[in-house]
Amino acid sequence: MLNKIKVIGFDADDTLWVNEPYFRNAEFRLADLLKPYTPGTDIVDELFKTEIKNLELYGYGAKAFTLSLIETAVKLTGKQVPAAIINEILAMGRSLMNISIELIDSVDKVLPRLQPHYKLIVVTKGDLLDQERKLKKSGLLPYFHHIEIMSDKKETDYQKLIDYLEILPEEFMMVGNSLKSDILPVIRIGGIGVHVPFHTTWQHETVNELPSQPYYEIESLSQLPDIMADFL
Amino acid sequence: MLNKIKVIGFDADDTLWVNEPYFRNAEFRLADLLKPYTPGTDIVDELFKTEIKNLELYGYGAKAFTLSLIETAVKLTGKQVPAAIINEILAMGRSLMNISIELIDSVDKVLPRLQPHYKLIVVTKGDLLDQERKLKKSGLLPYFHHIEIMSDKKETDYQKLIDYLEILPEEFMMVGNSLKSDILPVIRIGGIGVHVPFHTTWQHETVNELPSQPYYEIESLSQLPDIMADFL
């Protein structure tokens, strides 16, 4: 099956570089800031509910997250949150958009081995400007043909991508840390999925269902060339 | 020159549908809300300064705008803005993401006349999810090959688009309401520009320089088929 692959898509956040822990830290910081105003409330859980409520309207990414942090602060304090805390949340949001890039595993060694043989693309659902900036800062830009920013990563989104790339589903491999967003929808439409778990996964990205089609699971991106060894 | 055109790009906001007046209304509303706290301050001008400061980090679109509204409110009140006003600003932001689409002129008559002869694309620098949603709501989706969301509309961005489309600059026509973003960078790299002014233009989109290359200027999109009449 692997001999047909023409394009390999890589998820970005928590596949190419560390991202989720910065968002987790921001959640804990919000909880610290609001604790005096809402004793006994599970602030992180309330934030999650706000994020899910806003997902359809705001989409993914640091700006959406910042707006949900602010909304949670206003709501949980019964509109009593001091503007100084709003100011601090705005600063937290800005620093999320300015994180320094820490590459995961040996991605900068893996990509140059694959690039001569495949069209490599980044496939992400974050924020356009934010993801472009992270890709530039990562130093990985030269390895990628282009970056595809999707508003979501469902089956129809991947089908549109494959049509746009003018390839067949079996010619597409997707590599990522989210079973829900990177693997399940891809294997359901006939593509190849390679799951590389990351230690921290956002609650919204977890799945209960077990995939009925097979996919690859590797511990580290450094194992990806082993899977493709016959073709490199 | 026009006989070479293969792809026509359309700007979205204030070219295909009304957008800017909703943002202007939100600015006036902010000024009303903050006036009691900052008498004598030009609130709209302060907001503009905040938006420009944030442009590189936040990019364009309603989420970036909402964050700048909140930052302006915190700053101009010396961190004294009540959370109820923050709450109202969040609601203003949401309603900007939910505006009903009012098509400009006869765009829904013009596009079907051009579509059999050209690849039509939307070229916009707003927010990905927001622009996809507006395009869907507009009913214009069937006329477009796809939507290109750019983080900016400078010469290099258009050159990348043209490379990506695998066409020559003279095979690309761009139609839009912003001289600065839709016309100047396109004609500078050898494309064809068609300017359709809209009555309201964001301060950041105004230009002082006069283009040294020629471009078309029409009063209404309904005149676009006249320009292309020899080829339809």
For residue range B29-78, list pLDDT tens digits in order: 999 999 999 999 999 999 999 999 999 999 999 999 999 999 999 999 99
Annotate A16-46 with DSSP letters as a single string. Answer: TB--HHHHHHHHHHHHHHHTTTSTT--HHHH
How does pLDDT run across A57-79, given as a tens digit for each residue?
A: 999 999 999 999 999 999 999 99
Please check whether the domain covering A20-96 is classified as CATH 1.10.150.240. Answer: yes
Tokens of B139: 């009913």
Residue A144 confidence (pLDDT): 96
Tokens of A100: 């320094």
Domain with CATH 1.10.150.240 in chain A: 20-96
CB–CB of A170/A190 below 8 Å? yes
- A83 has a chain B CB within 8 A of its CB: yes
**Min Cα separation A3/chain B (Å):** 26
CB–CB of B71/B46 below 8 Å? no
CB–CB of B86 and A80 under 8 A? no
Task: Point out which residues pair with B175 in neighbouring strands.
Answer: B10, B194
**Min Cα separation A168/chain B (Å):** 19
CB–CB of A58 and B129 under 8 A? yes
Mean pLDDT for B117-143 is 94
Model confidence band, residue B224 (pLDDT cutoffs 50, 70, 90) = very high
Alpha-carbon gap, residue A37 to A81, rounded angstroms? 8
Q: Which residue of chain A has the CA closest to B60?
A: A129
How does pLDDT run across B145-197, given as a tens digit for each residue?
A: 989 989 899 999 999 999 989 999 999 999 999 999 999 999 999 999 999 99
Instruction: Please name the fold of domain A2-18+102-231.
Output: Rossmann fold (3.40.50)
CB–CB of B86 and A74 under 8 A? yes
Q: Which residue of chain A has the CA closest to B65?
A: A63
Q: Which residue of chain A has the CA closest to B146?
A: A164
B156-192 burial, b if ≥16 CB within 10 A, otherwise e? Answer: ebbbebbeebebebbbbbbbbbbbbbbbbbbbbeebb
Domain with CATH 3.40.50.1000 in chain B: 2-18+102-231
CB–CB of A83 and B80 under 8 A? yes
Inform me whether the pLDDT recorded for A210 exceeds 90: no
Give the predicted TM-score (pTM) of the model. Answer: 0.92
Angle separating helix axes B83-96 and A83-96, nearest 10 degrees:
40
Chain B residues within 8 A of A90 when measuring between CB atoms: 67, 70-71, 74
